[in-house]
């Protein structure tokens, strides 16, 4: 059962739908950034506060502003977590390097 009684209208709709879909895909541009920037937690806090202040000063609708602020805060939290994980992994790797490798003969069971 088709949503159109006429097969010609159905084909026309599907053709237009496919055309619109292709044009939407072509309109999306992807940006790839290859910057390797290392931020300290203080730099990240300052940058986040600056962005939040800009959002508060901007004249936009409250729902759009709150949505943008929520996304900014989520990204900031992920950056903090990633930085903490990187530091912890580095500390663990350093501790493992400093340890003397254990062999089966030296291991205490």
Q: What is the dihedral of CA 87, 93, 99, 104, to 10 degrees?
A: 140
| Model confidence pTM above 0.75 | no
pLDDT tier for residue 15 given thresholds of 50, 70 and 90: very high
Domain residue ranges in the chain = 37-98
Alpha helices in the chain (DSSP H): 7-27, 41-57, 62-98
Whether the per-residue pLDDT at 30 is higher than 80: the answer is: no
Tell me what pLDDT residue 41 has.
77
């Amino acid at each position: 059962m088709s949503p159109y009684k006429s097969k010609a209208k159905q084909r026309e709709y599907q053709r237009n739908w496919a055309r619109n879909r292709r044009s939407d895909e072509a309109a999306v541009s992807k940006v790839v950034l290859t910057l390797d920037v290392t931020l300290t937690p203080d730099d990240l806090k300052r940058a986040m506060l600056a962005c939040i202040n800009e959002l508060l000063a901007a004249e936009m609708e409250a729902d759009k502003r709150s949505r943008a602020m929520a996304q900014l805060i989520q990204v900031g939290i992920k950056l903090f977590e990633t930085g903490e994980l990187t530091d912890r992994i580095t500390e663990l790797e350093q501790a493992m390097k400093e340890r003397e490798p254990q062999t089966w003969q030296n291991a205490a069971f």
